[in-house]
A = this chain, B = another copy of it.
Amino acid sequence: MTSLFYLVPAAAVIALLFAWIFFRQMFKESEGTPTMKEIAQYVREGAMAYLRQQYKVVIIVFIVLAIFFAILAYGFGVQNPWVPFAFLTGGFFSGLAGFVGMKTATYASARTANATMRSLNAGLKIAFRSGAVMGLTVVGLGLLDISIWWIILNAFVEEATPAQTLVVITTTMLTFGMGASTQALFARVGGGIYTKAADVGADIVGKVEQDIPEDDPRNPATIADNVGDNVGDVAGMGADLYESYCGSILATMALGASAFFNLGTDIQMKAILAPMVIAAIGVVLSILGIFVVRTKEGANLKDLLGSLSRGTNLSAVLIAVLSFGVFYLLGFDGQSGLPQWWQLSLSVLSGLLAGVIIGKVTEFYTSHSYRPTRKLASSAQTGPATVVINGVGLGMRSTAIPVITIAIAILLAYGFATGFVYSTGTLSLGLYGISIAAVGMLSTLGITLATDAYGPIADNAGGNAQMSELDPSVREKTDVLDSLGNTTAATGKGFAIGSAALTALALLASYIEELKIGFSHIGKSVLEVGDRTVDTLSASITDIVEYYDITLMNPMVLVGIFIGSMMAFLFCGLTMNAVGRAASKMVVEVRRQFRELKGILEGTRRPDYTSCVRISTRAAQQEMIYPSILAIVVPMLVGVILGPAGVIGLLAGGLGAGFVLAIFLANSGGAWDNAKKFVEEGNFGGKNSPAHKATIVGDTVGDPFKDTSGPSLNILIKLMSMVSIVMAGLTVMLH
């Protein structure tokens, strides 16, 4: 049965192979005119320069943390000896995925613009398949890392019983998620600050003060803006979802090892394999879906959207069907306390459906095809203040349905797995059900991430067409591609948030597992729980919960919830101000160039693009450090000071407030963006009307909401869990 595991490295290799094929296909295309090549080169260089800077900072952080973990593991013996290495590989593969994705995106944009001259379908294909390179690289490298560690640890780890060995292996693997989280943190925060500093700065001086259009080559910040799309939306999003993807699989494995601990090694092993196998099948289905995406010439937005949806829906429906097969074949037959195969598959389905619903709701609240954004645009007639007020209100209201959806998905996933029996006895199994729902949601990441990474490529293609002063018909076509990208970006954000929430919940549950391992590292082999004595490695989740009194009346838990909620806001506030500061620097520089370098506005002289790129790069690099360190240090401190009960409170509070805050920020930002577009289409006075100026203020405010602070929260809620998981040993020693 364990031979099923080899599906996983096989899927990894297939994913990477197709990523390579798609990359080569794209690379063979022409980049177009010399100007197009030049512009693309500028963007590529800027993006790579930034990535180098970011990796420099990240490498230092990784070295420091790896040494710290090594000291904990080898010096004090309070940590798993594999942690430093697992941590480093997680970070390395995540960084590699970001590098490949961004390299691809920066090669693809001019080629997309050029192909669009030929036909819309050709443009779509290049942009989308280049996005698929990112999607497949992420899932491929994720499964590769998982496979490698599975093989290594199976060879080296041996505990008293096979069941305990599996517990130790899976909880050890969980720690490589910390590496992915840390890498993702810097990618999201740094990338987010970079892109919005450039975007906000370019908009304030360009659109508002000088009345020149978006992506105009006369705007000195326009290259930085295009670079930003790549570092924020491609690399940042990729790292974020890489982490969710790996995190959900690893957490499910750990929870599986615990939930089926007493039912025999055979079924325990199957429960561990299930998430990996589902992910592996998801890779194949994603590739299938990618091939389905194509459109005919003269397609409008609806056709294009239909075409993308066909691909993602096909993959989603097939994985839903096949997951029944997986659990059936694995032999979950309802015997001896096991759930039936269809029970766990229904848990998977809950996750998948929740993802789809959250995506749709996001679209409803942020697309100007629907009432909320249209009403928001209408409120622009009374000025920027009412636009901002109503946009904030819209975003806050829009949190209701996604939260209720996730709540129902959690209860269903738990309920299906346990046969709707809520008792402490079925707790582990239910949490496994929730966790596998997250895996279900993320199983077709190969294609969903492709639709996401497609957006910035199409956006950059438009930018390239504009800056290269191609025939306006090209820009019109890329605009169609781009506005499709805006829709997929919005639903993609909803998806990223939803999956982050479920993953964080799975990590929260597996933190309890990690505490058990913590005990065994400090040599505590039995626990006194109430009047009973329990063997640590065999302890159930309920035992640990009782041991640390992780109830809602424990003041440690309550204080943890307060601090967790606060962390979400503090982290957002810091990144928001970082964008504000960096954007101000950009505004000053762009104003300076317009003032001092005569001829820019007349188009007789090229502005100094590189100085703006430098400002964004430096600002991102400086500003990402403080919030990032905070996100890593606070959970450590809470563990040390308040103990496991405080940590669980912190994670739950951070997850609750962070999830809702992230939806609010993403949807407010998306709605402002599209309200502006709605006015630009000629409503309420159209372009350059007072209403338009008001919506530009809204859009600018929304930039850091939706592209910096909001997405960074996805990382925060997962990273805090990961840090706590890695620090479990020290926490247990002190409490």
Contacts and interface: CB of A to CB of B under 8 A. Distances in A.
Among all A-B residue pairs, the 10 with the closest Cβ atoms: A396-B573, A393-B576, A393-B577, A385-B700, A397-B573, A565-B656, A403-B566, A390-B580, A657-B657, A561-B656
A199 to B, nearest CB: 11
A404 interface: yes
Given A379-B580, A427-B553, A393 B574 contact: yes
Interface string A476-516: 00000000000000000000000000000100110010000
Contacts of A143: none
Interface in A244-300: none
A542 B570 CA distance: 33
B570 A388 contact: no
Nearest to A643: B422
Nearest to A630: B400
Interface stretch (A323-331, A334-342, A443-451, A659-667): A659-667
A179 interface: no
Interface string A537-558: 0000110010001111111111
A384 B386 contact: no
B573 A660 contact: no
A568 to B, nearest CB: 8
Contacts of A562: 403, 406-407, 410, 655-656, 659-660
A649 interface: yes
A434 B555 CA distance: 9
B403 A563 contact: yes
A587 interface: yes
Contact of A574 (B386, B389, B397): B397
Given A390-B576, A399-B570, 7 more contacts: A386-B583, A386-B584, A389-B576, A410-B555, A411-B556, A430-B555, A431-B555
Interface string A368-391: 000000000001001111101110
A467 interface: no
A204 interface: yes
Nearest to A209: B383
Contact of A382 (B204, B400, B423, B696): B204
7 contacts: A379-B584, A403-B565, A530-B530, A562-B659, A564-B656, A569-B661, A657-B661
B541 A553 contact: yes
A411 B656 contact: no
A430 B424 CA distance: 27
Given A389-B576, A559-B407, A566-B403, A552 B652 contact: yes
A579 interface: yes
A672 to B, nearest CB: 10
A384 B545 contact: no
Given A204-B385, A388-B388, A577-B394, A660 B399 contact: no
Interface residues of A, number: 92
A550 B550 contact: no
Given A393-B576, A580-B379, A656-B565, A556 B649 contact: no
A587 B386 CA distance: 10
Among A568, A575, A704: residue with most chain B CB under 10 A: A568
B573 A509 contact: no
Contacts of A403: 562-563, 565-566
A169 interface: no
A558 B561 CA distance: 12
A660 B395 contact: no
A235 interface: no
A656 B653 contact: yes
Interface string A403-446: 11011001100100000001110010011001000000000000
A701 interface: yes
A388 B565 contact: no
Given A552-B550, A566-B400, A697 B652 contact: no
Given A208-B383, A558-B505, A562-B403, A573 B697 contact: no
A208 B704 CA distance: 26
A398 to B, nearest CB: 8
Interface in A5-37: none
Contacts of A575: 393
A58 interface: no
Contacts of A509: 553
A655 B700 CA distance: 31
A572 interface: yes
A120 interface: no
Contacts of A384: 384, 697
Contacts of A556: 411, 422
A565 B397 contact: no
Contact of A648 (B383, B410, B423, B552): B552
A383 B208 CA distance: 9
Contacts of A422: 549, 554-556
Interface string A583-621: 110011000000000000000000000000000000000
Among A200, A384, A556: residue with most chain B CB under 10 A: A384
A407 B583 CA distance: 35
B553 A382 contact: no
B557 A552 contact: yes
Contacts of A379: 580, 584
A569 to B, nearest CB: 4
A392 interface: yes
Contacts of A648: 552
Contact of A565 (B208, B565, B704): B565
Contacts of A655: 561-562
Contacts of A659: 562, 565
A312 to B, nearest CB: 26
